[in-house]
Structure 1
Amino acid sequence: MTLHRPPSILLHCTMTLRFKLLVGAATLFAALIGPAHAADPALVRIGVAQQGSGDPPTFGGSPAATAQLQHRVEDALQSEHVKVEWIFFKGAGPAVNEALANKQIDFAYQGDLPSVLGRANGLKTHLLLASNVRAGVYLAVPPDSDIKGVKDLKGKRVGIFRGTNLQLVADNVLKENGLTERDLRVINLDTAAAQAALASKGVDAVFLDYSLFKLQRQGLAKIVYASRDGGLQLTRQAHLLVLEDYEREHAETVQKVVTAVVQAAQWSSDEANRNALFALWAKSGVPPESWQSEYAKQPLKDRNSPLIDPFLVARYQSVADDALRLNLIRQPVSVNGWFEPKYLDQALKSLKLEAYWPRFDASGKPIA
């Protein structure tokens, strides 16, 4: 599993090959979930860039997850007898992109980097609203490890889930500490595999998300770094997007879906619901204690805001620029025209929430 340190050209070829392998696996999965077909007005298919847990599968950590758990989209479309399908992808963002390309889903909840990769490869989508913003990543090691921080990772076996919005934050964290992936022995591991590898000491460290808190409480891991402590430029964003073709044909349905998720965002942002929110998200298999740790000392409004504000737009452009710098994409990607705020604006107006969430400038400072 050891990766040597190739020169930049070989690195680019290696990453390109890995991306193609991910796409190939996603294509196989897409074939399993059914053939591509035109948008069905009686069916809304929402792809989720997570594996999901339970039967039926659920997820947590975002207003989109709240909307699914509270059946808000289903309720909003009930009068039209529209069926809603939530489709979960273990292959995360790359698998979601493949399903979008094959028109096997209409909407998608995913992170910033995968959507940038999709746009760079010609996917025609519109970003409708934010859903889980300013989320960090964590670096964890076995409890008896002598690794105390990021600088100690040189030459170590480190798990990173490539192709996800976690990868780019990890790469920027390494950069701030004078390292790149080439200085490590990187192993591409999804969330479940990374947890198992860390618990069994099959790796020296992993960059991962809130799932690490449970391992730490079990005495199987030690979190030694949180990217959010380094500033908002080291956070990742997620969103709900829609295929342009679907939006063009079903604008009224898009509006109802967006309004339902905004309602879920408002409920998820109410501090009076904090404990109830974490209990709801615990249905995804992540215990309330982990959500409490993830959201400690953070206002719910800051994390669960659906707003398309200057901060969000700037972060997505920065992700696109970083992806080009790291050779994850071959050509520049502009976010101009990618965001479609009219549905969000209408939802905020109809729900009288125009001033509910704080807006942030491009640097992450609140706008008066």
Structure 2
Amino acid sequence: MSRPASLLARLAAAGGLLLAAFAPAAAEPVTIRIGYAAIGVDNRPYAEGTSAATARAGNYVEDAFAGNPDIKVEWYFFKGAGPAVNEAIANGQLDFAYQGDLPSIIGRANGLKTKLLLASGAHKPTYIAAPLNSGLTGIKDLKGRKVAVQLGTNNHLAFAKILKAYGVSERDLQIVNMDSASANAALASGDIDAAVGDTTLITLAEKKIAKIVYTTKGDDPRLGRYAHVLVTEAFEKAHPDLTQKVTTAFVKAAHWSSEEPNREALIALWGKSGTSTSVLTEFFSGETLKYRNTPLIDDLFIDQYTQAAAQSKAFGLLRRDVDLTGWFDTSYLNTALKELKLEGYWTPYGADGKPLGS
């Protein structure tokens, strides 16, 4: 090679190295792992009754990353509910999760590093059912009876609050730890006197196998169940941009789930879980979709979690105090509300359970 040609070759090579040095690095593939503290009928990978369930069934999170081959979304559903979600978070197997108040508080007390991003299923009612031929008619009739509830879940905490409100102690009952499927079977066979739950109990009542003897629906809203979508601190710190996109996707799902013209379509979508549309219709009867599907972390939500932390220790569900400082991170929610022009769409509630400004 002649000297000028050799020089040109060296310059070209050097230029290529410079371009490579200043070229943007290829994005690292990321798998977003979302856990859900419930599972559909016959272990279907769907749920119902919350905006998070809508996000899953309607592919809202997947759609947020459509066209980006470096982002993969995976959903995991847990028969073991909240306690099983805690175990998965502790093992580094999840980045986001839908979970109830009590298990997430227990997780925080045990050192799990998470942030609560938005409410989902924040006003879900709790039901108590008894065998069809039972003489039980209300909460006070539960004294001395064998009652099934899945311990460590938000149903457990709601049940403790209900008992206290009606002057009954857990010591007055025979508490049996059962998941919903086991409780349903025991209720149908008469092996227990009552069970705590929601749509599965409505299903038994619809089939004339059991009867509903109490529901928090229409009672003090502070007796209901509270749940949320959370993110692990590790994922949020590493991927604030992805955390925002996921949060915005959940808020979009909450908005669609809150529009009354969508009620029939919403219930049909949740039917992917295997729960019948008639049961879901009853589950949401008498309440607005906006109330049931609000994503707001309002004064009622924060107060209920604060009270839940204190009550969990008082009820013997926790052995230590838990500090909630910095746990509620509404920055991603507020950005999503502004971006989607949904500021003021949902009604915030005060700690007294009443709409603010009413």
Give me the TM-score of the superposition, normalised by structure 2: 0.89
2:148 counterpart (124, 148, 159)? 159
- More displaced 10-residue stretch of structure 1: 52-61 or 70-79: 52-61
1:301-340 paired onto structure 2 within 5 Å: 301-340=290-329
Identify the residue that residue 264 of structure 1 maps to in structure 2.
Answer: 253
CA distance in structure 1 between the aligned counterparts of 2:29 and 2:116, rounded to whole angstroms: 21
2:230 counterpart (229, 237, 241)? 241
Matched position secondary structure for 2:199: coil
CA deviations on 1:157-204 (whole Å, 9 max, x unpaired) are 111110100001111211222222221111111011111111111111
Identify the residue that residue 72 of structure 1 maps to in structure 2.
Answer: 60
5+ residue gaps, structure 1: 1-39
Matched-pair identity in %: 49
Kept in 2: contact 1:228–1:234 (CA 8 A): no
Q: Counterpart amino acid of 2:337?
A: L
CA distance in structure 2 between the aligned counterparts of 1:254 and 1:191, rounded to whole angstroms: 32
Q: Does 1:228 align with 2:222?
A: no
Q: How far apart are residue 126 of structure 1 and its match?
A: 0.2
Inter-CA distance 318–228: structure 2 relative to 1 (3 Å threshold): farther
1:173 counterpart (141, 158, 162)? 162
Q: Counterpart amino acid of 2:236?
A: E
Identify the residue that residue 210 of structure 1 maps to in structure 2.
Answer: 199
Q: Counterpart amino acid of 2:100?
A: G
Identify the residue that residue 38 of structure 2 maps to in structure 1.
Answer: 50
CA distance in structure 2 between the aligned counterparts of 1:281 and 1:355, rounded to whole angstroms: 26
Inter-CA distance 148–53: structure 2 relative to 1 (3 Å threshold): closer
Identify the residue that residue 188 of structure 1 maps to in structure 2.
Answer: 177
Q: Counterpart amino acid of 1:340?
A: D
Matched position secondary structure for 1:151: helix
Q: How far apart are residue 41 of structure 1 and its match?
A: 4.6
CA distance in structure 1 between the aligned counterparts of 2:222 and 2:272, rounded to whole angstroms: 31
CA distance in structure 1 between the aligned counterparts of 2:58 and 2:219, rounded to whole angstroms: 34
Q: How far apart are residue 333 of structure 1 and its match?
A: 1.8
Inter-CA distance 216–111: structure 2 relative to 1 (3 Å threshold): same
Q: Counterpart amino acid of 1:115?
A: S
CA distance in structure 1 between the aligned counterparts of 2:166 and 2:350, rounded to whole angstroms: 26
Moved over 6 A (4+): none
Q: How far apart are residue 212 of structure 1 and its match?
A: 1.2
1:290 counterpart (279, 301, 324)? 279
Q: How far apart are residue 334 of structure 1 and its match?
A: 3.0
CA deviations on 1:81-132 (whole Å, 9 max, x unpaired) are 2111101111111110011111111111010000000011011100000001
Kept in 2: contact 1:313–1:335 (CA 8 A): no
Matched position secondary structure for 1:146: coil
Kept in 1: contact 2:267–2:280 (CA 8 A): yes
Q: How far apart are residue 55 of structure 1 and its match?
A: 7.7
CA distance in structure 1 between the aligned counterparts of 2:42 and 2:141, rounded to whole angstroms: 37
CA distance in structure 1 between the aligned counterparts of 2:279 and 2:323, rounded to whole angstroms: 36
Kept in 1: contact 2:62–2:73 (CA 8 A): yes
Give me the TM-score of the superposition, normalised by structure 1: 0.87
CA distance in structure 1 between the aligned counterparts of 2:40 and 2:284, rounded to whole angstroms: 20
- More displaced 10-residue stretch of structure 1: 163-172 or 73-82: 73-82
Kept in 1: contact 2:114–2:233 (CA 8 A): yes
Looking at CA atoms only, which structure, 1 or 2, has the larger radius of gyration?
2
2:240 counterpart (237, 242, 251)? 251
Identify the residue that residue 91 of structure 2 maps to in structure 1.
Answer: 102
5+ residue gaps, structure 2: 1-27
Inter-CA distance 55–161: structure 2 relative to 1 (3 Å threshold): closer
Q: Does 1:63 align with 2:48?
A: no
Matched position secondary structure for 1:230: coil
Identify the residue that residue 128 of structure 1 maps to in structure 2.
Answer: 117
1:4-23 paired onto structure 2 within 5 Å: none
